[in-house]
Structure formats: structure tokens, C-alpha cells
Amino acid sequence: MLKKLFGKKEKSLDEVIYSPLNGKVVELETVPDPTFSQKMMGDGIAIEPTDGKVVSPVNGKIIQFFHTKHAVGIESESGLEILIHVGLETVGMGGEGFEGHVKEGDKVKVGDPLITVDLDLVKEKASSTITPVIITNPDVLETVDKKYSDGATNETEIMSTKVKRN
């Protein structure tokens, strides 16, 4: 009631997550790394990318950007924390082949460039290009609906969620 009296804006409780990469959307359980396939970091999906342009899947803020530029964490407007981890065992590349376009604290909108990656180099130096997209705070979720596609683009909805009320 006080929120209504003082006009405080409530956060949106429904959140759509768009594909951060062009490619095939697959089940997280198929990722050949137990950290992701066993959902140790959270729930989500994975993308087999067809190009190296990684964009923001939500409107929000960059809360983590790894110095090796292989992974980025975003907090969405509804409070979801989303990790995009480009490839498997890419941390060992030390940032080679990765170009970052954001820094921690930046505000982003759906489709804003986050990372550009040389997928050929990743294929050569890492174990896989498959890219997990993880909700790392699944405890805030009431529901998550995952959508799989053979030809996802940066405009394809890959997950829709409902975030619990506080």
C-alpha cells in the first residue's frame, strides 16, 4: 500500500530472455561439462553459435565481466542474474580471440553488443564453442519456460520467466 501511496515503481515480475547468440538452442543437460549439464551454477539453456557476436539477452546492468572476456554476468530489470559463458574451457585462452564491449556497471538493453569472439580460434584452442546461458539465482524464479530452436537469432525468445514476489 505504501508503494502505491508514494508512487514507488515495482519491478517487472515477468522477464523474457532473448538469445544472446545466433545458433541452435539446446538443452543445458547436453553440454559436455558437468558444471553446466548438472546445473551446478543454475538453470538455463545452451547455444551452439553460428557466429561470434554476443549481445545482451535482457535489459539490465553488467554485474560481472571476466578479465579473460569469455563470460559476462548481467542483472536483469526483474532481478535475474544471467551468466553467458562463451565456449567451454575458454578461460585458458586468456582473452585471446575475445573482444569486450562492456564493463562492470554498464547499463545494457536487449541486443547491445557484449563480446565479439573468434569462433574458429575457440574451436582450435578450447574444447567447445557451445555457450551456456545460465540463471545463476534460480531461487528467485517462480517459473521458467525454455524454448528450443534450430535457428535462433538475437531476436528469438529462449526463456520466459516469472520472478517470485518479495
Q: For residue 82, is pLDDT > 80?
A: yes
Q: What is the largest CA-CA distance in the chain?
A: 59
DSSP sequence for 60-122: EEEEEE-TTSSEEEEEETTS-EEEEE-SBS-GGGTTTTEEE---TT-EE-TT-EEEEE-HHHH
Does 30 map to a domain?
yes
pLDDT at 166: 63
Q: Between 101 and 13, name the one with better pLDDT.
A: 101
* CATH code of the domain covering residue 145: 2.70.70.10
Res. 23: pLDDT tops 90: yes
R_g of the chain computed on alpha carbons: 16
Would 1 be classed as within a structural domain? Answer: no
Mark whether 101 is an active-site residue. Answer: no
In a domain, 4, yes or no: no
Residue 26 lies in a domain: yes
Domain-embedded: residue 2: no
Res 26: pLDDT = 97
Q: Exactly one of 67, 70, 85, 101 is catalytic; which is it?
A: 85
What residues have CB less than 8 Å from 69, skipping those under 6 apart? Answer: 95, 98, 99, 100, 115
Tens-digit pLDDT profile for residues 133-163: 999 999 999 999 999 999 888 899 999 999 9
Domain residues for the domain of 71 are 12-163
What total of structural domains would you count in the chain?
A: 1
Q: What is the pLDDT of residue 158?
A: 97
